[in-house]
Amino acid sequence: MKLFKYLLLLCAFILLSCNNNSLLVTGLKGVNESIKKEYAPDKRVAIYDIDLDYYDDKIVASGETDSKIGYQKLLDSLKSLDIDFINKIRILPDTVIGNDKFAIANNSVINIRSEPKHSAELGTQGLLGMPLKVLDKNGDFYRIQTPDKYISWVDKGGIHRMNKGEFDEWNTRKKVIFTKNFGYVYADKNENSEIISDITLGGILKFTGMDNNFFEVEYPDKRTGFIKREEAEYYESWLMNLVASQENIEKTAKSMIGFPYLWGGTSSKGMDCSGFTKMVYLMNGFVIPRDASQQINAGKIIDTNLNFSDLQKGDLLFFGTKATEENKQRVVHVGIWLGNEKMEFIHASGNVHVNSMNDSLPNFDEMNKNRYLGSRRYLGVKDKNIIDLKAKLKL
C-alpha cells in the first residue's frame, strides 16, 4: 500500500496547492488503480470496475465492484481529501437480483461465458448441483461465482436461483454424486422409462429415497427422478472414503483418456487442459483454481532445475513462454505427471492422452518439453487456493 499512500499524498498536495482538476483526477485514478491491484488483481475472481471522472466541478465515481473493502478504501480516500463527489458505484450483489442471491446448477453441465450472450467465449463450466453465488443480471444472463471463485455469465435456463434459506437447506440435505462418466436420470425405476435429463461425472442431486436398484433424487427446481445405484454413491460417504493418493490421481486421470478437448470445458462432455486437471482433482476431493495461469500459483514449487528429477506422480506440469526482460512469463498449458521409467504425463490437447518427456519413445512431446516452465505439488500441501472438500465437510 506504499504506492496508494504516496498517491493519496500527491492528490492532497494538488488539491491544496493549485486545485488543478486534471491533475487531481489523474492522481485519484492512480489511487483507484492501486486499490484495484490490491483487492482485485485477477478479474477472473474479483470485480473492481470503477471509474473516476470530473463533471460540473465534481468528481463522479461510477462502476461496480464485489469488494466491499476496496470500495470502502476508495470512499475513505475521497473523504479524507474533503472532495465533493457523486457516488454512482454498485456494490454487487445489489437490488438488481433481489433476495435470490444464490443458485444451484440445474443442468448436467452449465456453460459459463465471458459476456452475457450465447455467442461469447466459453470461460468455464459448472456441473449439476454446483452451488453458486449470484452477483448481477443482464437480460437472460446472470453473473455468477463458482466455488473456485471464477466469475462469469450463465443463461437463466442453466441455474435455479434461491434465497439464503433455500440455499442453506439444499446444502445441508443428503446428496447423491454420479460417479460414471455419462448417464441418465430416469422418470421411473426403470432404465427404459422416460429420461428426465442426462448427467455426467461429478453431478450431484438431493437424495430422497432408494430401492435395490435406484436412488430417488431431486433437482434444485424440484423435479424428481431415478439414478441407477451402480452409477452413483451417497456424496458424504463417497467423499469420506476418498484416498487422495498418487495412484488414485493416475487412475482418475486415465479414466478420462479420449475425452475431447473443449476450450473452457470442465466436464466429461469436453475439457481444456486446466479443466482436465481440475476435474481429476475434483474427483479426488479437491477444488483447485480454474485456469493454468492460476493453478501455477497454488501448491508447492518443485523441479526448479527443470529436469523432471524431483517430480512425483500427481504433480502438475506447466508450459508456456519463459519470462524475459521485456515480458512476463506466460502459462498456456498444464498436465499431470505420471512418472515411471517412461517419464510420462497426461494432458488434454486435442483430447486427453499420455505423452512422454523421454525423446527415445514414440509418444515423446518435443514441443511441450521445449516450453516446460516448472511444476507444482498439490497432494499433501495446505494452500488457501486448494479447497479440501473432505476437511470442509467436517466443519
**Residues with catalytic annotation?**
273, 333, 347
Contact 212, 276 (CB under 8 A): no
Q: Tell me 229's DSSP state.
A: G
Residues in Cβ contact with 92 at an 8 Å cutoff, skipping those fewer than 6 apart: 47, 64, 65, 66, 135, 136, 143
Half-sphere exposure (Cβ direction) of 251: Cα atoms closer than 13 Å: 9
Rounded Cα distance between 117 and 191, Å, is 36
Contact between 319 and 372 under an 8 Å Cβ cutoff? The reply is: yes
Written as one letter, the residue type at 321 is T
CA-based nearest residue to 233, from 263, 257, 202, 255: 202
Copy the grid coordinates of residue 194.
Answer: 422416460
Compute CA 389 distance to the chain's CA centroid, rounded to the nearest angstrom. Answer: 15
Task: Please report, for residues 169, 322, 382, the alpha-carbon distance to residue 240 in angstroms, rounded to integers and kept in the order given.
Answer: 21, 40, 18
* Cell triple for 392: 470442509
What is the torsion angle, in degrees rounded to the nearest 10, for the CA atoms of residue 105, residue 110, residue 113 and residue 118? -120
Radius of gyration of the chain (CA): 24
**CA distance to 43, 326, 383, 388, per residue, from 287 (Å):** 19, 34, 11, 7
Strands 58-65 and 85-91: parallel
In degrees, rounded to 5, the angle at the alpha carbon of residue 83 between the alpha carbons of residues 79 and 85 is: 95
Packed helices 2-17 and 21-39: angle between N→C axes, nearest 10 degrees? 160
Backbone phi and psi for residue 87, each to the nearest 5 degrees, phi listed first: -100, 110
CA distance 283 to 175: 15
Helix, strand, or coil here: 164?
helix
Helix axis angle, 21-39 relative to 68-80, nearest 10°? 150
